[in-house]
Structures are given as structure tokens and as C-alpha cells.
Copies of this chain bind each other. A is one copy, B any other.
Amino acid sequence: MAKVAPLSGFPEWLPAERIVEQHFLDVIRRTFELHGFANIETRAVEPTERLLGKGGDTDKEIYGVTRLAARGAPESAEADLGLHFDLTVPFARYTLEHAGKLTFPFRRYQIQKVWRGERPQDGRFREFTQADIDIIDAGELPFHYEVELPLVLADVFAELPVGPFRIQVNNRRIPEGFYRGLGLKDVNGTLRIVDKLDKVGPDAVAGMLEEAGCSASQARACLALAQVSATDSSFVDRVNALGVSDPVLEEGLTQLAAVMDAAGEHAPGLLVADLKVARGLDYYTGTVYETQLVGHESYGSVCSGGRYDALASDGKTTYPGVGISIGVSRLLARLMPGLQASRATPTAVLVSLAADTDRTAAMRVAAALRARGIPAEVAPSAAKFGKQIRFADRRGIPFVWFPGRVGPDGDVLADQVKDIRTGEQVAADLDAWCPPDADRWPTVRTRE
């Protein structure tokens, strides 16, 4: 057997870190459900032909899956399968497959692992967890869902110890209409170049635009648009002042203003209209979203999404949708060093053992605590009490229970419980004692 070594790009958490991750996932789930999103899980694999060509240049990233026994077989009757690289493509397939049994508009959330074979780097993994919400409709999807989705995200982030954050919003119609109004032909090519603005700076982008056939003044206009940002709908006047007129541009400005107005009402200060946000994926057609942690801007977006119109279609019906995906692993990779769980185990109470023959009685004590919702376990052996307390201390278990017993003189000793952090030990009634609420389950806090 080869030495056990970590596998690059496939991170794993230790138990205390997993408690932090569980806290994030619990908050995400609860917030999504409060907003009426129903959960689904899709299988990990899709036919590779369904994965290829969705989401642009992803074919190099897809992991193929083959039974070892079928490897090298010249012709296999089995489907050619790959691991999904996001949750949007599987959700589109799920919607088509089960459309007759779903009710539309369909609000769903999905929290699962996804896999990409790309080179691992800071915050980029080969296996990672995403938490997605999407609203998909049959035929037409009302615009107001594009307004609603970033507000759900703002609610999630407001409940998590992520520090200040910024949800950046744009509408694909704005650059598209603007570029068309400027007389540019290659809208997507221009988008892709302007998307590099944060990485290479305005001069390099201007140069690339001119190489691609823009005039100097067209390149200047593209850059001016990309540099517009605002925390309210004041961006509309600033764009109009650039003097480009186009009906698609107008529609985009109106829609983005509606998103910003709703944000001002329901999540003041959390959204920024940022007209350089483009999102790489070609399938977005309306509002697009990115999210930055303030102070970690160079880390890039930790949750992104947008409106898509043509991802799911069975030839008869099209199912347009809008979605946002939280990069849970990516977010935690950055935040974990600053967070800690109050302990590395769910156990709140360790029931001590005076003698190994007391195990049955100790198990009865633990069962009574659990029946009242208090996580408890029995000490592994009847070691000296000091050793049992150290056992609890190493795991962060806050309380040690000493079951009552009949003393050497026939006197009955009551149950006692010790808070090992303060050393305080008091008589306790097994049917009534509770730990403080903050100690019942592990909690997550910011590291000092």
C-alpha cells in the first residue's frame, strides 16, 4: 500500500472545521427554505455529450467515469458518463426529465459537490461544494425574479460570519446594447476582452480592443461604460451621458435600475451596480451577479449567477431561469483561518465512569440526557477522574457528569456536573439539568 498523501485539489476538513462548514450549510439551507426554495439532488453523473458544449470551454475540465471492468473494452454498451462540473446543467436536465411532475415557476435549491479537472490553485479545487438557487419557468420567466434572487443571497450572507461583502450586479443587455449602439459587431468578443479589466488594467484592455478592430474612441467608450458603478440607480444618468442610444441598452438600464431600487428597499447598501461584471459563461442573457468579500477583492467572486433563457429546452417548451450559486468550498477556503468551532465534537456532556462495572448505569445517564436533546457520551474507560477530564478538555466538551452512587458507608451521593472551563462542580438533577443554550451544540465564532 502506497503512503497516504493528500490529493491536490481534493481538500478535506478536520472535524472542527467541518462543524464550521456545517454551520454555513445549515444557514444556507434554512435561508433558502424560508424563501420557499425546495431542495433536490441530482445524480453526480451526466452523459458527457450533455456536459460538453454547455458552459463554453469546459471539455478539458470534465472527469469521465468508466467502470474499471469496462476499461479498454473495444465497444461498451454503457452510456458515456462524466461527473457534473456545476449544478445548473444537471438542473436543466432534471427539469426536462421531470417537467410533467413539477409545478412552474419551480423554485429549487441544490447543495452538492461538483468536479472540475482544472489545475488546483488558491480557492480553485477539483472537488468542491456549491449551493445553488434557481427559479425556472415554462415558456416565460417574469423579470421580477431577477430582482428577487440577489436579495435571498443578501439574507444568507447577513447570517454568516463572512464580514463585509458586496454583491455586484449588471445586466448583459447593457454592454450588448451599448456595443451595438457603438457600431461594434463582435459583442461576445468585446465582452470577453472587457472582462479582463480587473486583471490587466484599462490600458491593456484598450490595446486589445483596438487590436480586435475597435477605433480608439470606441475603445474609450467601452472602458468608460465598464468603469461605471453605483450603489443606487444613479448609474442610468452616467451611462446616458456617454451618448450611446440603443433599445436593448435602454431595456437593460431599466431592468438594472429596478434591481437596484428593490435592493435599496430590502437590502440597503449590499448591492452595487457594477457595469464591468460580465460573467464568462455565454448562456447568460439578462441580469448577472458576482459577489466579493470586502478586503479579498483579488480572490474574485465567491458567488455568481444570472439569468439564462435557452439552457433547458425539449424542442417544444423552453424553460428560462435565473440562478445564483454560492461557492461554499471557495468561500470557506478563504474564511476558515479566521473562524473556529467552540469544540470538535457535538458532545456537550461526558459521563464519567468510577469503575468499568458502572458502564450500564453511565449509559443510562447518557440516554436520559439525550432524551432531553443534550448530546452526551460515556467515558471510554474508568480511568482516574483527572484523565477523564483531560479527555473532555482535549475535545472541548464543556461538562463532565459524575453519576451518583451509594458510598462506602451506605450513604447516597447525588449526581454532580462539572463545568471544566470554570472548574465549578454542582449537584445536578438528571431529569432537569440543562447546559446553557450556547453550550448545548457546538457554535462557530470569529477567531480573535
A207 at the interface (CB under 8 A from B): no
Which of A32-40, A180-188, A236-244, A280-288 lies on the face that meets chain B? A32-40
Contact in complex: A359, B144 (CB < 8 Å) = yes
- A448 to chain B: closest CB distance in Å? 22
Q: How far is the CA of A83 from the CA of B63 in the complex (A)?
A: 11
> A346 is contacted by which of B12, B33, B45, B380 (Cβ under 8 Å)?
B33
Of A33, A127, A344, most buried by chain B (CB within 10 Å of CB) is: A33
Q: How far is the CA of A135 from the CA of B344 in the complex (A)?
A: 15
Contact in complex: B49, A2 (CB < 8 Å) = yes
Per-residue B-contact encoding for A386-429, CB less than 8 Å = 1, 0 else: 00000000110000000000000000000000000000000000
- A112 to chain B: closest CB distance in Å? 9
Of A13, A34, A262, A360, most buried by chain B (CB within 10 Å of CB) is: A34
- Which residues 315-336 in A have Cβ within 8 Å of B in the complex? none
Query: Which residues of B have CB within 8 Å of A61?
Result: 67, 69
Contact A35 B377, CB 8 Å, known A10-B43, A43-B127, A97-B6: yes
- A114 to chain B: closest CB distance in Å? 10
Query: Which residues of B have CB within 8 Å of A2?
Result: 47, 49-50
Per-residue B-contact encoding for A249-285, CB less than 8 Å = 1, 0 else: 0000000000000100110000000000000000000
Could you say how many copies of this chain the assembly holds?
2
A375 at the interface (CB under 8 A from B): yes
- A224 to chain B: closest CB distance in Å? 32
Of A39, A113, A115, most buried by chain B (CB within 10 Å of CB) is: A39
Q: How far is the CA of A324 from the CA of B60 in the complex (A)?
A: 39
> A43 is contacted by which of B7, B49, B70, B441 (Cβ under 8 Å)?
B7
A217 at the interface (CB under 8 A from B): no
Q: How far is the CA of A97 from the CA of B43 in the complex (A)?
A: 29
Query: Which residues of B have CB within 8 Å of A199?
Result: none
Contact in complex: A375, B34 (CB < 8 Å) = yes
The interface size bin for chain A is 35 or more
Contact in complex: A22, B36 (CB < 8 Å) = no
Query: Which residues of B have CB within 8 Å of A38?
Result: 15, 18-19, 344-346
A291 at the interface (CB under 8 A from B): no
Contact in complex: B18, A381 (CB < 8 Å) = no
Q: How far is the CA of A39 from the CA of B36 in the complex (A)?
A: 27
A44 at the interface (CB under 8 A from B): yes
A73 at the interface (CB under 8 A from B): no
> 17 extra interchain contacts, Cβ-Cβ under 8 A, other than A60-B68, A68-B117?
A4-B97, A7-B81, A13-B41, A18-B38, A18-B40, A18-B41, A33-B441, A34-B346, A36-B346, A38-B344, A43-B127, A59-B68, A64-B66, A69-B117, A103-B394, A137-B380, A266-B363
Q: Lowest 10 CB-CB distances: which A-B pairs, in order?
A: A36-B377, A36-B347, A67-B117, A33-B346, A10-B43, A15-B38, A60-B69, A34-B370, A4-B97, A4-B96
24 A-B contact pairs sorted by A residue (CB < 8 Å): A1-B49, A5-B97, A10-B43, A10-B45, A11-B43, A12-B94, A12-B98, A15-B102, A34-B375, A38-B345, A62-B67, A62-B68, A63-B66, A63-B67, A64-B67, A64-B68, A64-B71, A67-B117, A69-B117, A103-B344, A144-B359, A148-B363, A262-B360, A266-B367
A residues near B (Cβ < 8 Å) are 1-2, 4-7, 10-15, 18-19, 22, 33-45, 47-50, 59-71, 79, 81-83, 93-94, 96-98, 101-103, 105, 107-108, 113, 115, 117, 127, 137, 142, 144, 148, 151, 155, 262, 265-266, 314, 344-347, 359-360, 363-364, 367, 370, 373-378, 380-381, 394-395, 441
